[in-house]
Amino acid sequence: MVDSRGQIDRGAEPRTIPERSYVDGQLAGHAATSAVAEPRSRFIKRLLAIAVLIDLLFVGLAGFWLRQSKLRYEERAEVTTQNLSLALAGNVANVVDKIDLTVLTVGDEVQRQLARGAIDAK
């Protein structure tokens, strides 16, 4: 053993480790350990609650981002559809104009041939 001056005391008896006493399957001094375990348990519960809140925050942000992304894609689809319909309307108008011009040309040719007295077979 070491005395208070830091010297080894050879005549001292070795210390023994006290025996643990159990009451109802629990250590007798378990109340002190339970007092330490309770704040630790509270800490773990708080830590889990914070982790769950952070997870909920990220899930909420992801949901918000997905909703915004969906709205942007719907807006793009609407603009693309409007552009395509305008292009098709212009194309149909050109085809109708060509058909109209063809019908007018054929009508003029028929009137010209009728004015000469007969319609050519060609």
Q: Is-contact 9 2, C-beta < 8 A?
A: yes
3-state secondary structure of 50: helix
Cβ proximity of 113 and 122 under 8 Å: no
- 17-36 mean pLDDT: 55
Q: Which two tokens stand for residue 57?
A: 């925050």
Residue 39: pLDDT over 90: no
The pLDDT value given to residue 54: 98
Q: What distance in Å separates the CA atoms of residue 91 and residue 99, rounded to the nearest whole number?
A: 12
Q: What is the pLDDT of residues 50-85, one digit of tens each?
A: 999 999 999 999 999 999 999 999 999 999 999 999
How would residue 7 be classed by pLDDT, with cut points 50, 70 and 90? low
Q: What is the mean pLDDT of residues 11-19?
A: 60
| Entry pTM | 0.47
Average pLDDT over all residues of the chain: 83
Report domain extents, the chain: 28-116
